[in-house]
Structure 1
Amino acid sequence: MIPTILTLNAGSSSLKFRLFARDGLALLARGAVSRIGADAELKASLTGGPETREALAAGTDHAAALRALLGFVRAHDDGWRIEAVAHRIVHGGTGYDRATLITPRVIEDLTALVPLAPLHQPHNLAAIAASRGLVGEVPDVACFDTAFHAGRDPLFTHFALPKDYYDRGIRRYGFHGLSYQWLSHVLAQDRPDLHRGRVIAAHLGNGASLCAMRDGRSVDTTMGMTAVDGVPMGTRSGAVDPGAILLLKRTFGMALEEIEELIYNRAGLLGLSGRSNDVAALLADGTEASRFALDYFAMRCAQAAAALTVSLGGIDALVFTGGIGENAGPVREAIRNRLAHLGRFETLVIPANEERMMAMEAIALLRAGSPQGVPPAA
């Protein structure tokens, strides 16, 4: 039997998986179910093998999506034994500053955080529930996007509000921590000089943020209490004047649910361009609205990076990652050009690998507790 780690990354309409060998972390299989709740489709492949595509039943939910993924794993089983399931959890609040084994108390705590991450947390929890019913008696491990930012100086975690609000959880948490943790790991291995230095990491994708890192640790980051703050994103607004939100309710008569829908799903690149949240499509489109959306995105990212140099006292490297950061050269160049006044610093592109980071965290917990694995379940 080959001990393996299964990683799950659940979104509102997707469920991505990776299957790693526990020893050496070789990637054995990968895939995703997209368009959950509508015309769902499974795409999966063994490493180096052809892609399997399968249309799933109408109304497929996260449990049915996981069942389809496990069906693919079972059909190609080469003596694999799942020893743990690692789940990406967007919000860990103040209680979770590292990966942890999931217990009923953990589920209760994470459910209480749903209002802080309404676009992600419910689906993360749905994947946990599905896993427990389908994979079998193996440990479920929560890997938090907020954990990397824990322990920052209070200067970077407060809003300018009375302290009792901070004590009640109204504070800056930061997100995309698994991505930044992976970048820190890669820099420690490949560029220890930069790992020790002042690095601004830009995780740019449909969700986007920047992080100031020194000695491989988070110092400051653009996202705050929720994953809608900071720079604009694919469909999320990024930072908006709080007074504008009040105006939308008081003067325009919008309900809170309508405002939430606007800033999470109809803003960002989609809202600015009026066309798409896909950067490749906007670059190809070439219309004035598409160019403006991309210029605005680059400008706001550059402004954020410049502000983070204050938190670090300078900059030694700018590291891009994520779908936009890795693949959209014109956007990287536009951001870099707007930072030319900062002088010389290195620019790197490091592919994101949050799933591998999750598997590493799960293995660390297994080594601490040595629970037994089981074969893939039906």
Structure 2
Amino acid sequence: MKILVLNAGSSSIKFQLLDMTDTTVIASGIVERIGQTDAITSFEIGKNEHRSVMAIANHKEALQQVVHLLLDPEKGVVGNVDDITAVGHRVVHGGNEFTDTTLIDENVKHKIGEFASLAPLHNPHNLEGIEVATSLFPNARQVAVFDTAFHQTIPVKASKYALPSELFDEHHIQLYGFHGTSHKYVSQQAIDYLKLKKSKIISIHLGNGCSMTAIENGKSIDHSLGFAPSNGLIMGSRSGDIDHAIIFHLVNKLGYQLEDVERMISKESGMLGLTGFSDLREIQQAASDGDKNCQLALEMNAYRIKKYIGSYTAAMNGVDVIIFTAGIGENSSLLRAMVCADMNYLGISMDAKANKQRSDELFEIQSGISQVKILVIPTNEELEIANQVKTLLEQ
């Protein structure tokens, strides 16, 4: 069984083609900086890597590029589109409608489109990926794996907002949670690695989108993103937590239109709004060169994460493991160090030398005196999605 996994983010598409007989990765890659003139496409087959830089205007063009590479007569690995049994799609928002992995039909696509207003940076791209894959792989089963599914275990006391109850009961306005595929995968990796029978884990997913999850005994019990993937931590272009009164002030006092405010909060804020840079690598370099705005933005980012660590430790009455994952979490030793600094009250102590290492595998970065394990775990949402797709098709 060969499964193609498509993971469409707000500015990138990751993909893997897996042989699920033994979970071998046949080919993998990523299209980054979508929407820019210098979009980067990386395509790996075994130890051979092909890289190109070109203008890619949108996610549809990016997906067409992925399929072109897979079918390329010289570089590709698929001779016929019918070699692919299924395409697994990461879908960010499933609302209350989808609580598990789901075969895609017209009704499912319609529902995913309905939830686009709740995840405007993601669901439209997820749906576009489904449409393109359906046309290019007409005989493959199309399957959706929802980010929100892992967070269905969050108790009502944490998922319900202090609004009139009919909004929760009738309109399902609540905390849904996101990045569930990633948080589920890395937390299970930590449990298996440390051989934990009981566990209190804080998973920190840091990429262009960022989130944190409190995970007790393998189940999500609280999460930093909410009704839509816009609050919580400071993200690449999203503001994270703000006082909602600011929105009314912008509209009623400063004359902004609601759509302008929505665009500002989702696409022009976060680290981009604070620094003018959209890539954390550029921000770190500028901070190192003395840019005060970039230095402050990094401090604000780390401070917000620290606050969530404190609140989730309180919610679980302790913490055994802290996990850093995703592109920034796995690669930014600077941000990890800033987050873990001066956390000795909670028993968190980092080993500076261990933190400097780079690896494609799980590694530990806590010091010898730390009471909490600090793990850097490369996320593998694609493998998690492929496993869920395989399980569904074999039922």
The answer to whether the superposition gives a TM-score over 0.5 is yes
Q: Is the 8 A contact 1:62 1:130 kept in 2?
A: no
Q: CA deviation at 1:188?
A: 3.5
Q: Is the 8 A contact 2:71 2:79 kept in 1?
A: no
CA distance in structure 2 between the aligned counterparts of 1:109 and 1:360, rounded to whole angstroms: 24
Q: Is the 8 A contact 2:209 2:235 kept in 1?
A: yes
Partner residue of 1:18 out of 16, 19, 34: 16
* AA aligned opposite 1:293: A
Unaligned 5+ segments in structure 1 are: 369-378
Q: Is the 8 A contact 2:27 2:77 kept in 1?
A: no
* AA aligned opposite 1:66: L
CA distance in structure 2 between the aligned counterparts of 1:133 and 1:78, rounded to whole angstroms: 16
CA distance in structure 1 between the aligned counterparts of 2:321 and 2:53, rounded to whole angstroms: 43
The correspondence of residues 264-343 of structure 1 with structure 2, limited to 5 A, is 264-272=266-274, 274-286=275-287, 287-343=291-347
Q: CA deviation at 1:124?
A: 0.5
Q: CA deviation at 1:216?
A: 1.0
Aligned length: 362
CA distance in structure 2 between the aligned counterparts of 1:334 and 1:34, rounded to whole angstroms: 26
CA distance in structure 2 between the aligned counterparts of 1:311 and 1:278, rounded to whole angstroms: 32
1:299-343 Cα distance to aligned partner (Å, 9 max, x none)? 110001100112211111111101121111121111112432112
Q: CA deviation at 1:86?
A: 0.4
Cα RMSD, aligned residues only = 1.9
CA distance in structure 2 between the aligned counterparts of 1:249 and 1:147, rounded to whole angstroms: 34
1:276-296 Cα distance to aligned partner (Å, 9 max, x none)? 132222222122211110011
Closer, same or farther: CA 120–105 of 1 in aligned 2, 3 Å: same
The correspondence of residues 182-261 of structure 1 with structure 2, limited to 5 A, is 182-193=185-196, 196-261=198-263
CA distance in structure 2 between the aligned counterparts of 1:260 and 1:37, rounded to whole angstroms: 19
CA distance in structure 2 between the aligned counterparts of 1:262 and 1:64, rounded to whole angstroms: 25
Aligned to 2:182: 179
Q: CA deviation at 1:108?
A: 1.7
Q: CA deviation at 1:63?
A: 4.2
CA distance in structure 2 between the aligned counterparts of 1:187 and 1:38, rounded to whole angstroms: 36
Aligned to 1:82: 84
Q: CA deviation at 1:55?
A: 4.3
Unaligned 5+ segments in structure 2 are: 348-370
Aligned to 1:354: 381
* AA aligned opposite 2:191: A
CA distance in structure 1 between the aligned counterparts of 2:78 and 2:8, rounded to whole angstroms: 25
CA distance in structure 1 between the aligned counterparts of 2:206 and 2:32, rounded to whole angstroms: 21
* AA aligned opposite 2:47: G
* AA aligned opposite 2:323: V
1:122-161 Cα distance to aligned partner (Å, 9 max, x none)? 1110110111111121111101111110132101101101
User: Equivalent pairs: percent with the same residue?
Assistant: 35
CA distance in structure 1 between the aligned counterparts of 2:316 and 2:86, rounded to whole angstroms: 38
CA distance in structure 2 between the aligned counterparts of 1:36 and 1:236, rounded to whole angstroms: 17
CA distance in structure 1 between the aligned counterparts of 2:334 and 2:32, rounded to whole angstroms: 28
Q: Is the 8 A contact 1:85 1:139 kept in 2?
A: yes
* AA aligned opposite 1:187: A
Closer, same or farther: CA 206–338 of 1 in aligned 2, 3 Å: farther
* AA aligned opposite 2:26: L
Higher relative contact order (CA 8 A, sep 6+): 1
Q: Is the 8 A contact 2:207 2:235 kept in 1?
A: yes
Partner residue of 2:70 out of 51, 57, 73: 73
* AA aligned opposite 2:341: N
Q: Is the 8 A contact 1:198 1:317 kept in 2?
A: yes
CA distance in structure 2 between the aligned counterparts of 1:15 and 1:176, rounded to whole angstroms: 15
